[in-house]
Chain A
Amino acid sequence: MARLAMAIDLAACVGCAACAVACKLENEVPAGDHRLWIRTTESGIFPDLTVEFRPEQCLHCENPPCVPVCPTGATYQTQEGIVLIDPEKCIACGACVAACPYDARFFHEDGYVSKCSFCEHRLKDGRLPACVETCPTLCRSFGDLDDPNSDISIALKEADRIDVLRPEQGTGPKLFYLNSPKKYGLNQEVAK
């Protein structure tokens, strides 16, 4: 079984939001809500400066804290490791929203909770997630961690540095940040 994951090369990302716009249109994300957003941080003193553009979205954790708290089974993890929400089952109780350490979930105006799905409907047609396909800096890679020749495995292998968000949470994120320009990492460096 595949273990699907995504990586974003922060040395390349320019924060252009092409991915965020692709996501909104592909998934008809309501106005004001976001499955994918970009966090910009600046540090340093003129002229020794660093700016990091970091797209954020659901990390499709290996150990997703949102899944066990769901009382209806609406939030679940597929065999490929994608964390999904079945809107028909969701009662919008918000337990998963509170459990997610990354604020990846939101209440959809149609009465259920929603978030990034890795564009699972596109994967079924053999297409990449919309954000990965459109990114004009080609900084996003996607694929199967268990396949050493997948785009993602190659990107991880070639990266000088790999970070994940809040590793201390033990969630096992499958969204990796590569080559962050920040001197001391997003949180702390993870072993390659």
Chain B
Amino acid sequence: MRRREFIKLSSASVGALMLGSQIEAENWLANPLARVEEPWHAGEVTTMYTVCENCFWHCGIKAYIADGKVFKLEGYDENPKSRGMLCPRGQAAIMQTYDPDRLKKPLIRQEGTKRGDGKYREASWDEALDYIADKMKLIKKDYGSESVAFFAHGAGDSWFAEYLPAAWASPNAAKPSVSICTSPRETASQYTFGRGIGGHEPIDWEETDYIVLIAHHIGEDTHNTQLQGFSIARKKGAKLVVVDPRFSTAAAKSDTWLPIKPGTDTALLLAWCNVLISENIYDHQYIEKYALGFEELAEHVKDMTPEWAAKITDLDAEEIRRVAREMAAYAPRAIIPPGRHTVWYGNDTQRMRALYIVNALLGNYGREGGFYINKSPYLEPYPHPQFPLEPAAGGCSGSGGASTVESSYRPPADAGKFFAHTTAVQELIEPMISGKPYPIKGLICYGVNMFHSIPNVPRTKEALANLDLYVAIDVMPMEHVMWADVILPEATYLERYDDLLGTAHKTPFIALRQPVIEPMWDSKPGWWIARELGMRLDLMMYFSWENIEEYLETRLKKIGSSLDKLKAKGTIVQKGRPYLKDWEARGRNPFTTHSGKLELYSQTFKEAGFDPLPVYQETIQAPAAHYRLLYGRSPVHSFAKTQNNSLLMEMHSENAIWINFDEAAELGLKTGDYVYLENQDAIREGPIAVYATQRIRRDCVYMVHGFGHKAKGLKIANNRGASDNYLQTNYTLDPISGGAGLRNNFVKLIPGATKPRHSRIARLAKDRRI
């Protein structure tokens, strides 16, 4: 930074009043030790639009660049995601780009070492890419193209879970954002309303008057627009009910907190159906006009009274009844949003069905203050020959995965394990070990944290050890990355283009991800890596575009825009069709289920051997002396992605295990003590700090997900806090959605751990100034 010659007095400070001070301005003593540096914004600053990647929300951002460096990121008003505001993670994401711990060169695992030894030599991009392509071709020759799997997460998953695998012809492409997150809510929505929820939850926040959140941690997750909408709704006077075993941030904002027994939400939802129907306060007209199966539903829930649910849920029957009546009073401007991470106990699609059915009885789907009906933006694909396979992964943006696989290829290796068409990332691990139904021998892993998202880490490690080829494309030397045969350093989102980011929304829109600075080190953008691999895999016909600008320009020209226009605006906003009345005005039916109706009763499920109406099932109970392990979010972290970000770690540097105050006292523990956590399979994790609090029930404990990194190369993240994922050796497969229910893991607290010694974040952060 340049040293400043003098301080310019602002118009605001000219003639400043020095209240009470007798010192004349001329008499001040200059401090000989002060080094007053000119701030970044004092010189020439340029701005560019792009899209955030510190979480999947993908807010439109404006980057402020001075001296070739990015100093600040802000939202901008025209982008429907950021609307001029950003969450903490989005702003601090700059620190990742300038993180000295980044992957800097392609690396090839040293000959003679095992996966996990972490010994590498630097390689050129040519050598690294040739190595991968040769191995992929060998696998294809011996086992077929299906035997290479592709796992991907982030905006670049369009290249690595869709484009490249579809061109290469592997149906084993998966996104953890499906089966370790949203698949139950998407599948349930698909078979109730005939449409998915999509990446941007279509909640009509600004219009709603009554909100019921079920373990939906708004405020602890800071999905920007959702938090804005939630806050605006409350400012406008919306009532809030929070159902959660823990007094979450959202619960702290609520009018009513229902501290439910974990695992019993379906019973509560069915009791609400019972009250709405038995008291005749559901939306008759709506149900008659749009729904199918009301009679069956009424019969099904007739004995599921609040008294029945009270015993199961550990809540008060009158409270349950009161909330149902209030919802009805505010309907249709009353809503139970679906939440996002819905893989809890394995019966999750049925719980989500119950949730949608309550919403349907309130008549809120497609109505103001309920669910609006989102629309995808109009976009055309880049013209290329038809891929041999349809992209198989599906996504949280609503698509259901490939419905059929060309008969000349084998179906995904998880076929038959569950009902939905998407792939399930955790179900593709076993075939790497067992070779059944056919072997998966290669894995291209793009931005998926294999040891901090997929349950049963020991199994994942065994699977990786078994592969013929394991490639990691990433930005940071995460633990799982340092297992790969070849590591490809990707440019961060501030240094690269990605494909156009279209969001299904009330006002559908397209936003541009573009580089605002040159890639640092020897990193390359994902599109370039995918294309270079494609060329080496004899897939040139699909990668006929010369470079990404041409690819984007072609797609934009087809919708009457251009790359230059989008660069100047950042976002193109289109018109939506949010409410049922808008659909009806055009004579269209938004319910694209089998019956063309909102299906309270699902004939499809019945025919597939599932309950056509949701049934409450008791989930696995804790073994003696164990607590159910719940987990959630920190407002300043995104999953396991941000724990090496010096600025975010200054805000929150380690997680703690929340335990009820009285339980802690019985164990002789108090806040600040350190313990180990040991799960039902005797897996130990920690040390972790105890947080003894009134804010949680006695039968469960809670920790923030994403800490407990074991990667030595992450100088800040390494060994701070503990990992919930390492403790999730058990999961319960949802037979409908393929989701991996993660909340059937239980831990004991083992006292006597010593507080780990760490350098202060502030000291580590000193070398990390922009």
Contact with A along B219-263 (1 / 0, CB 8 A): 110101001101110110000000000010101110001010000
Contact with A along B1-21 (1 / 0, CB 8 A): 000001100111101111111
Interface residue A170 (Cβ < 8 Å from any Cβ of B) = no
Interface residue B573 (Cβ < 8 Å from any Cβ of A) = no
Count chain B residues whose beta carbon lies closer than 8 angstroms to a beta carbon of A: 84
Q: Considering the complex, which residues of chain B in the window 474-530 have a beta carbon less than 8 Å from any beta carbon of chain A?
A: none
B7, B35, B762: the one contacting A110 at CB < 8 Å is B35
Q: Considering the complex, which residues of chain A in the window 51-81 have a beta carbon less than 8 Å from any beta carbon of chain B?
A: 51, 53, 63-64, 67-68, 70-74, 76-80
Interface residue A111 (Cβ < 8 Å from any Cβ of B) = yes
Residues in B with CB closer than 8 Å to A47 are: 247, 257, 259
Residues in A with CB closer than 8 Å to B219 are: 14-16, 137
Q: Considering the complex, which residues of chain B in the window 634-648 have a beta carbon less than 8 Å from any beta carbon of chain A?
A: 635-636, 646-648
Residues in A with CB closer than 8 Å to B694 are: 42, 44-46, 49
Q: Which of B21, B94, B253, B766 has the most CB of A within 10 A?
A: B21
Smallest beta-carbon distance B254→chain A, Å: 10
Interface residue A87 (Cβ < 8 Å from any Cβ of B) = yes
Q: In the complex the two chains form, is B21's CB within 8 Å of A68's CB?
A: yes
In chain A, what residue has the closest Cβ to B222? A16
Q: Considering the complex, which residues of chain B in the window 82-130 have a beta carbon less than 8 Å from any beta carbon of chain A?
A: 84-88, 91-92, 94
Interface residue B75 (Cβ < 8 Å from any Cβ of A) = yes
Interface residue A145 (Cβ < 8 Å from any Cβ of B) = no
Docked pose: A110 CA to B232 CA in angstroms: 41
A24, A77, A92: the one contacting B647 at CB < 8 Å is A24
Interface residue A98 (Cβ < 8 Å from any Cβ of B) = no
A30, A134, A137: the one contacting B231 at CB < 8 Å is A137
Smallest beta-carbon distance B39→chain A, Å: 6
Q: In the complex the two chains form, is B249's CB within 8 Å of A15's CB?
A: yes
Q: In the complex the two chains form, is A73's CB within 8 Å of B247's CB?
A: no
In chain A, what residue has the closest Cβ to B71? A25
Contact with A along B611-651 (1 / 0, CB 8 A): 00000000000000000000000011000000000111011
Docked pose: A137 CA to B647 CA in angstroms: 21
Smallest beta-carbon distance A165→chain B, Å: 20
Contact with B along A74-98 (1 / 0, CB 8 A): 1011111010101111111000000
In chain B, what residue has the closest Cβ to A112? B34
Smallest beta-carbon distance A101→chain B, Å: 16
Interface residue B568 (Cβ < 8 Å from any Cβ of A) = no
Q: Given that A47-B257, A91-B31 are known contacts, is A82 also in contact with B12, CB under 8 Å in the complex?
A: yes
Q: In the complex the two chains form, is A87's CB within 8 Å of B88's CB?
A: no
In chain A, what residue has the closest Cβ to B764? A31
Q: In the complex the two chains form, is B16's CB within 8 Å of A76's CB?
A: yes
A12, A25, A82: the one contacting B92 at CB < 8 Å is A25
Docked pose: A26 CA to B635 CA in angstroms: 20
In chain B, what residue has the closest Cβ to A84? B13
Q: Given that A47-B247, A110-B35, A137-B231 are known contacts, is A14 also in contact with B253, CB under 8 Å in the complex?
A: yes
B27, B228, B762: the one contacting A137 at CB < 8 Å is B228
Interface residue B41 (Cβ < 8 Å from any Cβ of A) = yes
Q: Given that A49-B247, A86-B7 are known contacts, is A72 also in contact with B34, CB under 8 Å in the complex?
A: no
Classify chain A: how many residues form its interface, as a range. 35 or more
Q: In the complex the two chains form, is B227's CB within 8 Å of A124's CB?
A: no
Q: In the complex the two chains form, is B21's CB within 8 Å of A70's CB?
A: yes
In chain B, what residue has the closest Cβ to A45? B694
Docked pose: A146 CA to B756 CA in angstroms: 53
Q: Given that A47-B257, A73-B28 are known contacts, is A32 also in contact with B765, CB under 8 Å in the complex?
A: yes
Interface residue B585 (Cβ < 8 Å from any Cβ of A) = no
Interface residue A133 (Cβ < 8 Å from any Cβ of B) = yes
Residues in A with CB closer than 8 Å to B288 are: none
Docked pose: A124 CA to B16 CA in angstroms: 15
In chain B, what residue has the closest Cβ to A32? B762
Q: Considering the complex, which residues of chain A in the window 7-47 have a beta carbon less than 8 Å from any beta carbon of chain B?
A: 9, 11-12, 14-18, 20-22, 24-28, 30-33, 42, 44-47
Q: Which of A27, A136, A137, A138 has the most CB of B within 10 A?
A: A136
Q: Given that A25-B91, A77-B19, A138-B235 are known contacts, is A90 also in contact with B636, CB under 8 Å in the complex?
A: no
Q: In the complex the two chains form, is B231's CB within 8 Å of A73's CB?
A: no
Smallest beta-carbon distance A137→chain B, Å: 4
Q: In the complex the two chains form, is B695's CB within 8 Å of A42's CB?
A: yes
Docked pose: A118 CA to B29 CA in angstroms: 26
A18, A28, A87: the one contacting B7 at CB < 8 Å is A87
Interface residue A149 (Cβ < 8 Å from any Cβ of B) = no
Smallest beta-carbon distance B628→chain A, Å: 17
Interface residue A186 (Cβ < 8 Å from any Cβ of B) = no
In chain B, what residue has the closest Cβ to A87? B36
Docked pose: A192 CA to B769 CA in angstroms: 44
Interface residue A50 (Cβ < 8 Å from any Cβ of B) = yes
In chain B, what residue has the closest Cβ to A14? B219
In chain A, what residue has the closest Cβ to B93? A21
Smallest beta-carbon distance A1→chain B, Å: 10
Interface residue A139 (Cβ < 8 Å from any Cβ of B) = yes
Interface residue B24 (Cβ < 8 Å from any Cβ of A) = yes
In chain B, what residue has the closest Cβ to A122? B41
In chain B, what residue has the closest Cβ to A34? B650
Q: In the complex the two chains form, is B23's CB within 8 Å of A72's CB?
A: yes
Residues in B with CB closer than 8 Å to A166 are: none
Contact with A along B661-693 (1 / 0, CB 8 A): 100000000000000000000000000000001
B30, B39, B87, B765: the one contacting A16 at CB < 8 Å is B87
Interface residue B40 (Cβ < 8 Å from any Cβ of A) = yes
B23, B92, B218: the one contacting A73 at CB < 8 Å is B23
Residues in A with CB closer than 8 Å to B91 are: 18, 21-22, 25, 134
Q: In the complex the two chains form, is A74's CB within 8 Å of B88's CB?
A: no
24 A-B pairs with C-beta separation under 8 A:
A9-B235, A14-B227, A15-B219, A16-B635, A17-B635, A28-B71, A49-B251, A49-B252, A53-B249, A70-B21, A70-B23, A76-B16, A78-B13, A84-B16, A88-B34, A89-B30, A92-B31, A92-B34, A112-B31, A121-B41, A137-B219, A137-B227, A137-B228, A137-B230
Q: A46-B247, A47-B259 are in contact. List 18 more A-B contacts (CB 8 A).
A: A12-B235, A14-B231, A18-B222, A21-B92, A25-B647, A27-B39, A32-B763, A47-B257, A49-B247, A49-B252, A49-B695, A67-B18, A67-B21, A68-B19, A77-B18, A84-B16, A91-B30, A121-B42
A-B pairs, 10 with minimum CB distance: A32-B762, A14-B219, A68-B20, A31-B765, A16-B635, A137-B231, A51-B252, A111-B34, A72-B28, A73-B23
